[in-house]
Amino acid sequence: MGRRYTSYLSRRFSLYTLRKATLSQELLLGIETSCDETAAAVVGDCGSGIARIKSNIIYSQRSEHTEYGGVVPEIAARVHIDTLFPVIEQALANANLSMADLSAIAATCGPGLIGGVIVGSLAAKTLAFINKKPFIAINHLAAHAQVCRLSDPIEFPYLLLLISGGHCQFLEVFDIDKYKLIGSTLDDSAGEVFDKIARILQITGGGAALEKLALDGDPLRFHFSIPLKDRDTCDMSFSGLKTAFRLLIQRLQPLSWQDKRDVAACLQKSIANALVDKTQKAFLMASQEIQQAKVLVVSGGVAANHIIRLDIASLCEKYGFTPFFPPLSLCTDNAVMVAWLGLEKFKRGDISDLAFPPRPKWSLSW
């Protein structure tokens, strides 16, 4: 497959030309294929040190996976193969650029579903080789960790709460490649619970759809205790909440629409309460550098949830921390965050070898 794929790339891009941009810009193409979003974006630095998003294209595979109740890795990889190059072409066209205008090409090389990671990283390496451009391997978690700095003047160090469908972690961030893990989920992630309960409720759209459903629900109708509340650690657990809500839904059968709204509102509040409890512990247990900086960055798909944002912002006000959240469009998986971190690495001369292996797991902590 690799030789056919490389040949296909060569044919597509050896003939591909668009009007060239001014060469004074540093321009990075980012590619993201770690799960079920096929994404490409161009981020540029015009010399002022301020990054600008030139294009941001995302093809969502939600419709391809809906009937299976979750992401099917094999299907995701095949859809990435079919859609990635049209997405890349559109990203370049929207930025009014050609491959020749790019300074480098960055791609997510892990962690994630390995089939998708292979597709994206191989595409980036091949384009880099054909067009004689530097290749930069990006850790998907690091891209989430750094994306807030694209839109906000955030200095190192800062405390990071990364909450998504696959990850739930507290990290101390000291640089673009220096992290210290101080807490993580012991089982399910918060985003995974949102998505699972949405499927049980037969709500299409995962956590985002559940949040909309919760708008007309009663968050106080059902009460569940905060997992691991009595433990003085930053570790989290969400599998118990998932089971409790699954059993609740079974007891309520047949569900009315109001039942579904109330379940959604209670689940959202329960997860928010758990995150607030552990964030409070993280404030108290973080290193002296973090406690002096008093900055919290909340990133990942679940960071788009309005109730979670409000509750964590209120906690930050109480403890004197300044909260930062990415723009909603940059919370879920996207290629802007890949291109942005690639740009930062490129400026430091941090270039990857084309032999850099795709990784299903890739820890940030040291």
Which CATH class, in words, describes the domain spanning 2-146+331-347? alpha beta
pLDDT of residue 165: 84
1: DSSP letter:
-
Low-confidence ranges of the chain (pLDDT < 50): 1-23
Q: How many CB atoms lie within 10 A of CB 200?
A: 16
- Alpha carbons within 13 angstroms on the beta-carbon side of residue 119 total 27
Domain ranges of the chain: 2-146+331-347, 156-325
- Encoding tokens for residue 111? 């962690």
- Extended beta strands in 46-129, E state: 51-60, 104-110
pLDDT of residue 47: 61
pLDDT of residue 326: 94
- Encoding tokens for residue 333? 């998986």
pLDDT of residue 257: 96
The CATH-assigned architecture of domain 156-325 is 2-Layer Sandwich (3.30)
60: DSSP letter:
E
- In contact, 61 and 78? CB cutoff 8 Å: no
pLDDT of residue 70: 77
pLDDT of residue 67: 77
Would you mind telling me the total number of residues written for the chain in this entry? 366
Q: How far is 89 from 12, CA to CA, in rounded Å? A: 10
Phi, psi (rounded to 5 degrees) for 40: -145, 145
Whether 2-146+331-347 and 156-325 share one fold: the answer is: yes
